[in-house]
Amino acid sequence: MTDEDDTTVIPEVAYLSAQQLQRTRPCLITLMGFEIGKLYPLRSSLIIGRGAAADLRLQGSGISREHCRILLKAEGVILEDRNSSNGTYLNGRRIWREVLTDGDKIQIGSSTVLRFTYCDELEERVARLLGDLALRDSLTNAYSKRYFMDRLDSEVHFSLRQQSCLSLLLFDLDNFKQINDRYGHLAGDWVLARFAERVQINIRNEDIFARYGGEEFVVLTRDTAGDLGLSLANRLRQQVENLILNYEGRLISLTTSIGLATMPLGGITSASHLIAAADQALYSAKAMGRNCVMVFNPEFHEMPVQA
């Protein structure tokens, strides 16, 4: 059919039902703090806090382990403080127990604000999509650098509080410029996406995989005492080397160099310190001939300046 045709084709359309468009689904949306724009559907009661027992875990100063609770009751959705150290604030006022109304703003700690609202099925779907787009790199589906930097700060604070190990793996794809020059930038983009897929299926759900810039990526992983961080790095390096990359009938080989730093080993006590240490280890891996893992060691590397 052209624009000049008189006949309008009537296709089979799956229209949304009235029930799907009813704004009856309670949810929280992050307005300020970690993961801005993320939507949390409220399907049942949940505890909000920074502790392991919290259903919605937040990181930041002033947040208690079990800070507050959302209750779904017959009289409505209720916000209840859990005797937090710094209080739960609703629309700028400290509260102990209040029924929430659409548009209410909840402040938890010094830097987290959540908005309570009701949404329909379509709005929830779109909010989830937009939140995901804001957090992820569109080419590789890895988390964005901004997300990584926000998460790194909170993970470092968690590691210091719990006196637990936190490892940062910094990847650089070897000779990636040559891949772009020889096969073209479309092939280079395709290779980046395949690399990201391989890494993502070989790490834990709780590990953070992000694109740090260009052909550099990071993995942030908890509880890596002993040689666990090194074991993970070597396994990922081998997985990348074993990739069979066939781009439009042309085989492309790929390897990666990895710099590994683990806190609090080597006196690392801050996010900037951890990045600088991993970067020095990566530089050593490239100098050793690439396709290898190097671990930050203050006996061989210059100690990064403490931020």
User: What are the residue boundaries of the structural domains of the chain, listed by start?
Assistant: 25-135, 145-295
**Position 24 pLDDT exceeds 90:** no
Q: Which of 71-75, 184-188, 289-293 has the lowest mean pLDDT?
A: 71-75
pLDDT at 177: 96
pLDDT at 261: 96
List all residues 6 or more positions away from 135 whose beta carbon is below 8 Å from its beta carbon.
Answer: 35, 37, 38, 143, 144, 147
pLDDT at 139: 95
pLDDT digits (tens, 9 = 90+) for 111-123: 899 999 998 777 7
How large is the average pLDDT for residues 171-194? 97
Of the pLDDT bands very low, low, confident and very high (cuts 50, 70, 90), residue 57 is confident
Of the pLDDT bands very low, low, confident and very high (cuts 50, 70, 90), residue 304 is very low
pLDDT at 305: 44
Question: Which of the following is catalytic: 4, 66, 123, 215?
Answer: 215
How large is the average pLDDT for residues 236-253? 96
Separation in Å, CA 223 to CA 34, 53, 75, 158, 168? 22, 18, 43, 11, 11
More confident residue, 167 or 57: 167
**Position 36 pLDDT exceeds 60:** yes
**Position 18 pLDDT exceeds 70:** no
Report the alpha-carbon distance of residue 271 to residue 151 in Å, rounded.
10
For strands 105-108 and 256-263, give the pairing. unpaired
Q: How many residues does the chain have?
A: 307
How large is the average pLDDT for residues 258-284? 94
Give the best-scoring range by mean pLDDT among 11-15, 150-154, 226-230, 303-307: 226-230
pTM: 0.71
pLDDT at 25: 85
**Position 237 pLDDT exceeds 70:** yes
Looking at domain 145-295, which CATH architecture does it have? 2-Layer Sandwich (3.30)
Q: Selecting from 3.40.50.150, 3.30.70.141, 2.60.200.20, 2.130.10.10, what CATH number does the domain 25-135 have?
A: 2.60.200.20
pLDDT at 172: 98
How large is the average pLDDT for residues 37-63? 85
How large is the average pLDDT for residues 249-277? 94
How many other β-carbons are positioned within 10 Å of the β-carbon of residue 211? 24
Of the pLDDT bands very low, low, confident and very high (cuts 50, 70, 90), residue 45 is confident
Q: Is 66 a catalytic residue?
A: no
The mean pLDDT value of the chain amounts to 88
pLDDT at 150: 83
Of the pLDDT bands very low, low, confident and very high (cuts 50, 70, 90), residue 307 is very low
How large is the average pLDDT for residues 141-150? 91
